Amino acid sequence: MELHLQIIGTLFIALAFVHLIFPKYFNWEKELQSLSLMNREMMRVHTIFIALTVFLMGLLCLTSPQELTEAGLGKKITLGLAIFWTTRLFIQFFGYSSELWKGKAFETVIHIIFSLFWIYVSALFWIIYFQ
């Protein structure tokens, strides 16, 4: 389990850094122009905090895999991570419209990759919690 946590930790850190390209990739300068200043700023600030949270989760998994598998605080943290990432898994299917990826090769591949990743992450944290 510790190796899996370290793998996930590394992937979380990479995912956090991917958030840096969101504004340019999704053309936020143009796309968010119609939003109020508050909503534009909230998109930017929340993206930063999501990236920071994912980075810190990655750091925790990478540097403290043994502690996360132990009874006590480790199990409580693991339960929180299981709930968090299982919720993210459900959002993948019920929070985003399938119009965003259906019939689009690249987007479909990304949707499948992230769906499998969220399943892997969620399952791992649940397995650790119930062990």
Q: Where are the domains of the chain?
A: 1-64, 71-130
Per-residue pLDDT tens, the chain, 131 aa: give them: 999 999 999 999 999 999 999 999 999 999 999 999 999 999 999 999 999 999 999 999 999 999 999 999 999 999 999 999 999 999 999 999 999 999 999 999 999 999 999 999 999 999 999 99
d(CA 76, CA 88) in angstroms, rounded, equals: 19
pTM of structure: 0.93
Q: Residue 54: what pLDDT?
A: 98
* pLDDT on residue 65: 97
| Predicted local distance difference test score (pLDDT) of residue 92 | 95
> What is the predicted pLDDT for the residue at 75?
96
pLDDT at position 90 is 97
| Cβ atoms < 10 Å from Cβ of 119 | 14
